[in-house]
Structure 1
Amino acid sequence: MNIVLFRRDLRVEDNRAVAAAFVAGAPVIAVYISTPAQWQQHCLSPMQADLIERRLKALREELSQFETPMIFIECLDFDSGNQWLVEFCIKQRIEQVFFNREYEVNELRRDEDLVRQLNKNKIQSQSFDDKCVFSPGSIKNRQGSYYKVFTPFKNEWMKRLLVGGEMTQPFMRAEPKPKPKLNIDIEGEFDLELTQAEIALNYPKMDSRSWHSDSEAIQEVLNDFCINKSCDYQQNRDFPSVDGTSQLSPYLAIGALSARQCIRALLYYSRGNVTKGGDIWLSELAWRDFYTHLLVAMPKLSMNKAFLDWECKVAWSGDRNHFQNWAKGQTGYPIVDAAMRQLNTTGWMHNRLRMIVASFLTKDLHIDWREGERYFMSRLIDGDFAANNGGWQWSASTGCDAQPYFRIFNPTSQGEKFDSDTRFITHWIPELKPVPVKLRHKPWSWDQAESLDYPPPIVDHKVEREITLGMYKEAKG
């Protein structure tokens, strides 16, 4: 009997560990270990926790179609989770454990410890690279090192999708689907109860029902994007009031969908002739790989360290009150506040807005990017450590291939450019509806601004910009 261990790969379809476990020949038991204390340390958001719980319930039902029981068990942290799993394997005479790798430092240490304990007890294990389109470390520059700039990484990444000048997917063959393995005998009454125990995460949760949890519905979202939205993606993706993004990031974050599935769907519906919009969307998937590859190449990124060493000299001087204003959407800058209110309410934020609010926190309020990184993870339904860390360091100009430190978004002009009709800001800040449209991105300039139930700007962007330039120049030396 074998075990397939689920983590952030909550799908049966196109799952390398699942495929290998079923191909191995022995009956398979699925196991998911909840570790609430570890999640608390990692700032797992309540909305993502709710989505994970709902997805686990759907996954158990999907696995039942393959006569595969699923054990849900709660352990305090990674160490106790490993201890339970090894003891279970010994008791049930498990032959092999199959799992997909995770790349953050704590997760890598967890898996090294697990393999060591399994080996000690003569239990085999197999691990797989499943998260990325191309395995971390497999895309290198001419010097045999990892890429420190995204564009050449993307170019090499794209080459691997190209054959004969056209998009094809010879390497993208889906993993074989499981086949039923009958007659599983789990010893002991208690252990049998584990396969029937209710899936309920002992962790704070927020309602995630606006997002799907079953595979068919998630696949339909992907298909709809590829058929109806991808061709206009480059035109619509920057405008938060337009439904122009894929809305797939929550499913990618918990592994309910793989990046390979996304690429296969795009190639299928475009018949291999990917549009400009589709090409831009592929670049976004390449960014996800890029940031995950960096985690493996630079373990310090998982340890609260910046990619650029001089970042430790930046004199982050922002105060806690300003952070609270930012977090609540009460800065007096409408595009920033609307974005933060969207995040706090829905657990999701438009990508353009993520850059704007991150720039504002670090370069207008001079608050350490780590504070924003943690806050995002504590709220995002699509929280993914590598992507979130990479995005924050890009905005703070401290990361790999980040925007130059002197590039500082003006929150007012960004709002005017990407929400010119103010549909987005008035949806999230209805207090601004009395303000004339042409003044809504700078409501403080309205002659009746004092009548609004909306704060004036907490800082002067022009002043803070100059402070930021000096702060970074001093840090760089």
Structure 2
Amino acid sequence: MDTHSMAELSLIWLRNDLRLTDNPALTWACKQAEKTVAVVTLTPQSWESHGESAARMGLWRDQLRSVAEHLQKLNIPLRVLRLDSFDDCAPALTDLVRELNAGALAFNYEYPLNERNRDSAVCQALESVGVEVRGFHGELIIPPGQVLTGQGGPFKVYTPFSRAWRRRLADFDRPVLPVPEAQQTTGLDSDPVPDDLDYKPLQYREDLWQVGEEAVSERLNRFIDEREPDYADKRDFPALPATSALSPYLTIGAISPRQCMAALRAAAGSRDWLDSSWLNEIIWREFYRHLLVAFPGLSRLEPFRPEVEEKISWLKNDAAFEAWCKGETGFPIVDAAMKQLLETGWMHNRLRMVVASFLTKLLRVDWRLGADFFMRHLIDADFASNLGGWQWSSSVGADAAPYFRIFNPQAQGEKFDAEGRFVARWLPQLESLKPGKPRQQPGAGAALGRPEPVIDYKKARAASLDDYQS
């Protein structure tokens, strides 16, 4: 671009894209102007209405501080706009562009409906005062609307979506974007990032989740080198450190899915990487985001398959729901998983399906309550993936499990935690029991202080199926 045609100053609006590497909005903003300023909008009222967890927002805060430090080295200061809700973003950003005489603003798209409405309002407000606004799909490898059926509509089933996604990949393949070069100095100081983000006390396990692009990149590379080759065989066993544990970083944008794909491809050295089970997880993430855009009702917590939910009678059972939330149902694999969540802010993916099936199909509690609980506790809380997972488990979602597929928690424990190492790790009363099936039995450890089962599995399963079929 001819530097004489460049705007003097551009803005990069950071949200859940807290990285310098492979950040298309940041790259564009830096090329668009001689000077660049980063801005974040703190919107605690909207965060609360969305159930943003204290753990996730704590990680977001610390990653933001790391990004701000690195941006400062590029002469890009950070402005922090302390607002109330998404509705305040358009007027606040309009005031900021006037204050700084900015000619352009860039951001990476987010896909839930409220976020898209917020961004539309910002685009309209800034364009009305002559500011160029550009959005980028930095959170996805292939943008929504670009993976379609032969009839030109969105896919509703994952497997054909994944095949089409792989076929379309060549059209959207590009290298990972480097960190932009330093800008001309603005003479502006960066604003401090409040400890509580004006939201609530924020706390997470900093010993488990280190921030900074270097630390996240090292975690990715270790996984690719040490665990990915055996991922397909070991990923379902919660006692094994077999998964990437990168989901918290993906959800705040500390790393991009394209960086993950690039590392996988570089290690494979052939096209075999396209068949990787771990790549499937990345494509599932894309599938759920494409669905959010194609079916806006999902953002309003409407079921993808209302005809299935119409057959389900949700029960109001506060005591059972509370027992599930606390990990006190008397079913070891369920309770251990919930204790892991409460202690670390994270839960193994296999166990997310187990506890969701238990809540929705055995306790027959509305999936929305479980989804909200996860959002308020997970450090990797991600609206699209969380919504998709809960609707899948309760059989009301896209490509959902059939309703009669009800996980038997004891059988799941015996299959995927055969020695009971995982349950004993999180339920210490079980350590004295013989490794194996005794640790997975409903009511295990009751004589040592563990609760009795809140349900009889066979009766609860039969009642659930009878209600659905009637």
| TM score, norm. by length of structure 1 | 0.93
Partner of 1:103: 111
The answer to whether 1:334 aligns with 2:336 is: no
Partner of 2:84: 76
The answer to whether 1:351 aligns with 2:363 is: no
Aligned-pair CA distance for 1:185? 4.7
**1:68–1:181 Cα contact (<8 Å) kept:** yes
Q: Take 1:394 and 1:147, find their aligned partners in 2: how far apart are those partners?
A: 15
Partner of 2:192: 197
**Alignment partner for residue 11 of structure 1, among 19, 26, 34?**
19
SS, match of residue 251 in structure 2? helix
Correspondence list, 1:131-210, <5 A: 131-161=139-169, 171-185=173-187, 192=189, 195-200=190-195, 201-202=197-198, 203-209=200-206, 210=208
Partner of 2:34: 26
**1:50–1:208 Cα contact (<8 Å) kept:** no
Partner of 2:380: 382
CA offset digits 1:188-242 (Å, max 9, x no partner): xxxx5xx232443122311331202110110011011111111100111000000
Aligned-pair CA distance for 1:270? 1.5
Write the letter of the residue equivalent to 1:36. Answer: P
SS, match of residue 102 in structure 1? coil
**1:239–1:418 Cα contact (<8 Å) kept:** yes
The answer to whether 1:45 aligns with 2:42 is: no
**2:56–2:204 Cα contact (<8 Å) kept:** no
SS, match of residue 213 in structure 1? coil
Aligned-pair CA distance for 1:52? 0.6
Partner of 1:288: 285
> Hey, which bits of structure 1, 4+ residues long, moved more than 3 A?
273-276
Partner of 1:466: 462
Q: Take 2:258 and 2:318, find their aligned partners in 1: how far apart are those partners?
A: 42
Correspondence list, 1:53-452, <5 A: 53-161=61-169, 171-185=173-187, 192=189, 195-200=190-195, 201-202=197-198, 203-209=200-206, 210-274=208-272, 279-310=276-307, 311-437=309-435, 438-442=437-441, 444=443, 451-452=447-448
Q: Take 1:183 and 1:390, find their aligned partners in 2: how far apart are those partners?
A: 44
Write the letter of the residue equivalent to 2:12. Answer: V
Q: Take 1:40 and 1:417, find their aligned partners in 2: how far apart are those partners?
A: 38
Q: Take 1:412 and 1:318, find their aligned partners in 2: how far apart are those partners?
A: 25
CA offset digits 1:390-417 (Å, max 9, x no partner): 0000000000000000000000000000
**1:266–1:274 Cα contact (<8 Å) kept:** no
**2:89–2:118 Cα contact (<8 Å) kept:** no
**2:61–2:193 Cα contact (<8 Å) kept:** no
**2:34–2:184 Cα contact (<8 Å) kept:** no
Q: Take 2:177 and 2:318, find their aligned partners in 1: how far apart are those partners?
A: 49
SS, match of residue 98 in structure 2? helix
Which has the higher mean CA deviation after the structures are superposed, 335-344 or 114-123? 114-123
Aligned-pair CA distance for 1:56? 0.6
- 1:415–1:59 distance in 2 versus 1, CA, 3 Å: same
The answer to whether 1:456 aligns with 2:452 is: yes
Aligned-pair CA distance for 1:106? 0.6
Q: Take 1:99 and 1:38, find their aligned partners in 2: how far apart are those partners?
A: 19
Partner of 1:189: none
**1:318–1:365 Cα contact (<8 Å) kept:** no
**1:364–1:465 Cα contact (<8 Å) kept:** yes
CA offset digits 1:336-378 (Å, max 9, x no partner): 0000000011000000000000000000100000000000000
Q: Take 1:85 and 1:53, find their aligned partners in 2: how far apart are those partners?
A: 20
Aligned-pair CA distance for 1:313? 4.7
Count residues with an aligned counterpart: 457
Q: Take 1:416 and 1:336, find their aligned partners in 2: how far apart are those partners?
A: 12
Q: Take 2:401 and 2:363, find their aligned partners in 1: how far apart are those partners?
A: 18
SS, match of residue 110 in structure 2? coil
CA offset digits 1:238-294 (Å, max 9, x no partner): 000000001100000000000000000011112135369x71000000000000000
SS, match of residue 172 in structure 1? coil
- 1:97–1:170 distance in 2 versus 1, CA, 3 Å: closer
Aligned-pair CA distance for 1:450? 5.2
Partner of 2:4: none
Which has the higher mean CA deviation after the structures are superposed, 319-328 or 71-80? 71-80
**Unpaired segments ≥5 residues, structure 1:** 163-168, 187-191
